[in-house]
Amino acid sequence: MTALGKVLAPRFGPGDVVLLKGGLGAGKTHLARAIIQALLPEPEEVPSPSFTLVQTYSTPSVEIWHVDLYRLASGAEVAELGLEAAEEGLLLIEWPERLANPSPKALWLEIAEAESPEGLGRVVAFSSSESLWAERLKGLAGQVEGARLHPRICEDVCDPCPDG
């Protein structure tokens, strides 16, 4: 997840919404940390927002909002977080299923465990209804060292896949 986060980070910028979906222990927080660390000018601790719900980070290019919605039970609780204030920032949201109306421009990253000949690993499926993501993710598969990665953008947006 660290290698993927480092390669994804420069593809994100102001106004982007990245929705990290997956079960407990899938690697959502690990991936978010890797993205944040790659964008920070100096390394700093990146704690999980499981209890604070929102952690923010300032970088030269974008303010990052790392959000964990796991403990929220309703859309009203999500509304109280004031995520609209992050409109010009980069939003990394774990447990996006709790959002009443996810941004239609968002990039969804669904993380799941998968068996391979090398052992247990992770599969990351990319999807979005926004066509800009197909171009921004082009070439991604070949840049993540040690990973077999195949980005999947919704077929109506990008058919065939830009990576093969």
pLDDT in tens, 31-58: 999 999 999 999 899 989 888 999 999 9
Question: Which is it for the CA torsion 128, 121, 46, 53, positive or negative?
Answer: positive
pLDDT confidence of residue 64: 96
The percentage of the chain sitting over the pLDDT mark of 90, rounded to a whole number, equals 43
Tokens read off for 160: 């065939």
Q: Of 101, 94, 149, whose CA–CA distance to 125 is shortest?
A: 149
Q: What is the pTM of this model?
A: 0.83
pLDDT confidence of residue 65: 95
**For residues 32 and 92, what is the distance between their CA atoms, to the nearest angstrom?**
7
* Residue 143, pLDDT above cutoff 80: no
Decide if domain 2-106 falls under CATH 3.40.50.970: no
**For residues 34 and 38, what is the distance between their CA atoms, to the nearest angstrom?**
6
* Burial class of residue 68 (count of CB atoms within 10 Å of its CB; 0-12, 13-18, 19+): buried
* Residue 159, pLDDT above cutoff 80: no
Asked whether 107 and 124 are in contact (CB, 8 A), the reply is no
In what side-by-side order are the strands of the sheet with 54-58?
A: 54-58, 63-68, 90-94, 17-21, 107-116, 119-127
Tokens read off for 123: 């599969």
